[in-house]
Each structure stands twice: as structure tokens, then as C-alpha cells.
Amino acid sequence: KAADRGAYPYYMLKEIDEQPAVLHRIQETYLQDSGIPVLDQEMLNAMAKADRIYIVGAGTSYHAGLVGQTLFEKLAQVPTQAVLASEFAYTDPILSKHPFFIFLTQSGETADSRQVLVRVNEEWQAPSLTITNVENSTLYREASYQLLLQAGPEIAVASTKAYTAQIAVEAVVAKALGTRKQVPAADAFDLQHELSLAANAIQAIVDDKAQIKTVAHKDLATTRNAFYIGRGVDYFVALEAALKLKEISYIQAEGFASGELKHGTIALIEDQTPVIALITQARTASHTRGNIQEVQSRGAQVLTIVSENLAKTSDQLVIPSISELLMPLISVVPAQLLAYYASLERGYNVDQPRNLAKSVTVE
């Protein structure tokens, strides 16, 4: 049974391990052998008319939406904005002339996201797509179009495989839209191949968990706080990585844009403060390296998660490199495992963290 924990001590670990299989299922469901996406043409026509895409989500789904901004802008050349459902529901945004809304929601039941969808349908009368893990959920039923994440049931409160599935499905939609609009970058992007590479890379990381367990034991067992830093999509993954750590290990963890450290946050760095840097983008790698030096000289205990092509001998967690656009699929996995092992180290119930619910149906 898909929801059976099997020999795993916690669902979260099982769900982390399932990510390569989820990516394969997304390939099988949404891509032809040739790599051409198979999506509803009517939906793509509606999206092609959009002058701006709004991606609505909460928590981890919002973080997947941030990564989606880059995918839609690069592959489909549509201005794209990720928005927090709980904020967007109660503001008066000046929308573009032809907005298209994408709802990212694992459960399909998040009240904050639904509140925005109600406005989209009633007030703004704009087309929408819900990308969810749960068929016939509320947001699935109420959107104009729907796609399933194909992730299988996600039981652990801390979301892992739904996040990677959301990014992969966003990539499928962005590629399909870009192809439909004849954007050269979309044609040139071999998504089929890149998703296979991503699945293999995640497999390699989960096969080598022991290394991450050791790091969690050394750096995260007793610390009061921890920081993730990165630039561009690495920053977006830093936000998700910090959320994972907060949710299940109760370490006060924050994700920061590396370049912003010097504008205030660096005041928080003390001797031995763990700072985990994500480096997967060539354009900003040397800048983030500079920021690492700044925190190191103030005593930080630095850990790096770096793609192979940008790695130096001093880097600790070197991950396989694929297309930079899809590196979030890979770089988040060591962070998921770090959070998992930090929670175990501290003796918490990984799957059932205090104060949290899997699906939040209050605003």
C-alpha cells in the first residue's frame, strides 16, 4: 500500500526516499517518450493569453511557487509572481490585464489558498489551474483546470515529496507553455532528460544518508539557531530548507538572501552558529563564496551544499549538477535529510511536530 510505512521508522524518511520514483511518475504521466508534454490544449491556450502568472500557495507550496517564478519566466517568458495566499487574499492587488492563476496545494484544502480562488472566480473572473496531490479536493474542483502531483499520499506533516513534485510539474507546464509560444529556451530544454538526471541525483543523495546524519549530529544536535543562505533559486531553497528545520527540529532557522546578510542579519552570527550555504548557480557562486567568508570570519560553522560543477575541495555536501533551472529538485534533498536527522537527534516525533497540522482549513 502506498501509505504503508513499511520498514521505515518515520513516514518522512520514506517520503524523502520516494522522490526519484515520484519524478519518474511525473515523466510517465506528463511527457511523451520524445519529451513533449501532454497537457490539455485548452488550458495551454488560456495560459498563452496571460500577460502575468500568479502562483498562489502557503508554506512549502509557496516556496515551490517561488522556484516556479524562474521556470515560467525562463521557459515561457511570462512575468510570474509567487504570492502568499494568506496575504494575497486580503489585499487589493492591481492585477495585470490578463492574469492566470496557478494554485499550488498538496492537500487541495488550505483555507488561505481557497480564499484567493474564491476571489479569482467571483471577483476577478480569471482562469486558474490547481496543481494538487488530492483529486477532487476543494481547490481541485473549483479551479478551471487541474493537474495532479502524482506524489502518492504524503503523511508526514513536513512536506518533502510534494515540494519536489510541485517543482517538476511546474517545469512541465512551463515547458509546454513555452513550446506553445515558440520560446526558443523551451524547445532547447530537454526536460525528459533533466528529470531523469534529477531522479538519479536524488537517488545518489538518499543512498548516501550516513554522511548527512553525521553532519546533523555534529552541527545541529544542540544549536539554538541556524541559517541557510543562497542567491536566486538557491535563496528560495534556503527558505524551504529553513522551514523544514524549524518545523521538526524546533531550531530557530532562517533562510536569507546571501547578499542581504551584511545589511543586518550578520549581527546574529556568533561563534559556532551553523550557516548552511547553497551554491548551484554559476552566476552567483563567487558572490555567495564571498558571503561565506564574511560569516566565517565572525565565527560561523559553515556547511556548503554545492553542485559538482561549482565545487571546491573544501565543500562538504557536493551534489550532482544538472540544468541550473532544476537544481532546486536536488539541493533541497540534503536539507530535508538534515532536518530529519536533527529532529531525531533531539528526540522529537518527526512525523507529528507540535502545533502543526498537515492540512490547515482555517484562515
Task: Report, as residue numbers or ranges, the catalytic residues.
Answer: 358
Can you give the length of the chain in residues? 363
Binding mask 156-185 vs ligand G6P (x if CB under 6 A, - otherwise)? -x-x--------------------------
Return the residues of window 49-68 that contact ligand G6P according to CB under 6 A. Answer: 58-61
Phi, psi of 222 (to 5 degrees): -125, -5
Q: Is 284 exposed, middle or buried (0-12, 13-18, 19+ CB in 10 A)?
A: buried
Phi, psi of 241 (to 5 degrees): -60, -40
Binding test (CB under 6 A) with ligand G6P, winner from 9, 79, 356, 361: 356
DSSP code of residue 219: I
User: Of 242 and 275, which has the nearer Cβ to ligand G6P?
Assistant: 242
Phi, psi of 199 (to 5 degrees): -60, -45
The residue type of 284 is T
Rounded CA separation 165/87 (Å):
24
Rounded CA separation 210/207 (Å):
8
User: Of 71 and 239, which has the nearer Cβ to ligand G6P?
Assistant: 239
Count residues contacting ligand G6P (CB under 6 A)? 15
Three-state SS at 257: strand
User: Of 107 and 249, which has the nearer Cβ to ligand G6P?
Assistant: 107
Binding mask 106-125 vs ligand G6P (x if CB under 6 A, - otherwise)? xx--x--x------------
Q: Is 273 in the site for ligand G6P (CB under 6 A)?
A: no
User: Of 18 and 315, which has the nearer Cβ to ligand G6P?
Assistant: 18
Q: How far is the CB of 137 from ligand G6P (least distance, A)?
A: 9
Cβ atoms of 119 and 89 closer than 8 Å = yes
Q: Is 130 in the site for ligand G6P (CB under 6 A)?
A: no
Binding site for ligand G6P (CB under 6 A): 58-61, 105-107, 110, 113, 157, 159, 356, 358-360
